[in-house]
Amino acid sequence: MSKERIQISEALYDIMPSDYQDLVKSATYGKEDRGWKDIGTSKELIEQHSLCAGCPESMAFRYILASLPNPEDTVMVGSTGCTSLVFPMVAVHNIHSLFGNQNAIASGLKRALGVRFPGRVKDVVVLAGDGATVDIGLDMTLQAWFRQEKFTTICFDNELYANTGGQESGLMQKGFVAKMAPVGKLFDKVRLPEIARESGCHYVVNCTVSKPSLVEKVIRNAVHVAREIGPTYLQLYTPCILEIGKNSMEGLQEMRDSEKPTERFAYKEYISEPAKQLLAELAAKDKERKAAAKQLAGQASA
């Protein structure tokens, strides 16, 4: 796969808005080792978006889109929430599902893609908020995992319904008082990473998006494991700075504070045995490829 497939008609090239020209000229479609370090030197797969200034979700989007191993052959499935405002500005195929249906849609999509393109790797990535993943869509989320559907589920966990003014969600911390939840949460944050593990996910990570290299690693691992073995789940803390009373500049610090070893977003990872084996094989191949490239570069400069 490569960007040769998406050329603009020469006769109308000059009238295309510059973001589309840039996507064709310098986006990283087809680049084997694409990652967050491409940000700033190539066209990102996300254009201007309407998220709030300083929103950690926008950071997460940028890192994830930079890290997808196969964006030209990836379909993302979104759901209702702040993320649905961003998808129109994303240069990866995407589907907006009804609230909570995202994992059911992704199940059918993944199977249909397998039938339609039998010889081609097609990745499906669900990206939804905590309301869609854990509350309204929990049934669909779990059933997809039980069925061992081969796609990645990413939950942007901001611990409440941010898009509608701050209602209580299952992933909200116990005791938290939000604008539309004045009594305070009465029960504990749902432990979805553990539920994911028990439901058959082969790769589960709970972390924040404060470190782009970490986001890149977990996204690549999750997509590769889902492609070859079975369902994977990433729960990424993307705090809503407005709803927790922070300023635009404080999102990153909020994530850093929340990932300390005793905090709820301390890095947690579960990898099944088959997934461990696969990731070890991929790492060995990657090492070989890099060594070969280094040798080739050395020969060329000699």
Partner 1 sequence: MSDYRVLPGPEHFLPPAAASMGIRLPNPGEAHINGVITSEDKAYEEAARQFLMAKVPTVFPGPLVLWAWNEKAAKKATAVRHLFNTLKECVQPGQKPMLIPMPDYRPKYPKINPEVEINPNHPNLTIWHNKIDCCMFIGVHCHQANLSLKIIRGGTSCYTIAMCAQAGHEDAMLSFRDASVEKIMRLADTVKRLKGTVQPRLTSAKNGASS
Q: Which is nearer to partner 1, 8 or 190 (CB)?
A: 8
Q: Which is nearer to partner 1, 11 or 186 (CB)?
A: 11
Cα–Cα distance measured from residue 245 to residue 296, given in angstroms and rounded to the nearest whole number = 53
Q: CB-based burial of residue 183 (10 Å sphere; 0-12 exposed, 13-18 middle, 19+ buried)?
A: exposed
Q: Tokens 């942007």 correspond to what residue?
A: 156
The residue range among 13-21, 27-35, 118-126, 210-218 that interacts with partner 1, by the rule CB under 8 A, is: 13-21
Cα–Cα distance measured from residue 246 to residue 140, given in angstroms and rounded to the nearest whole number = 33
Q: Are 79 and 265 in contact (CB under 8 A)?
A: no
Binding to partner 1, residues 111-150 (CB under 8 A): none
Contact call for residue 41 and partner 1 (CB under 8 A)? no
For residue 70 the two structure tokens come to 């196969």
Among 2, 17, 41, 299, which residue interacts with partner 1 (rule: CB under 8 A)?
Answer: 17
Bridge partner residues of 153 (DSSP):
126, 233
DSSP state string for 208-272: ESS-HHHHHHHHHHHHHHHHHT--EEEEEE---TTTTT--GGGHHHHHHHHTSTTSTTS-EEEE-
Among 2, 10, 183, 299, which residue interacts with partner 1 (rule: CB under 8 A)?
Answer: 10
* Least distance (Å) between residue 273 CB and partner 1: 42
Contact call for residue 16 and partner 1 (CB under 8 A)? yes
The residue range among 15-23, 36-44, 181-189, 256-264 that interacts with partner 1, by the rule CB under 8 A, is: 15-23
Q: Which is nearer to partner 1, 53 or 293 (CB)?
A: 53
51's CB contacts (< 8 A; 6+ apart) are 57, 58, 82, 85, 86
Counting every residue, how long is the chain?
Answer: 302
Q: Which is nearer to partner 1, 12 or 186 (CB)?
A: 12
Q: Which is nearer to partner 1, 88 or 175 (CB)?
A: 88
The residue range among 11-19, 29-37, 158-166, 258-266 that interacts with partner 1, by the rule CB under 8 A, is: 11-19
The residue range among 16-24, 66-74, 191-199, 276-284 that interacts with partner 1, by the rule CB under 8 A, is: 16-24
Binding to partner 1, residues 46-105 (CB under 8 A): 48-50, 85, 87-89
Q: Which is nearer to partner 1, 60 or 91 (CB)?
A: 91
Phi, psi of 268 (to 5 degrees): -130, 135
Q: Which residues bind partner 1 (CB under 8 A)?
A: 6-12, 15-17, 20, 48-50, 85, 87-89
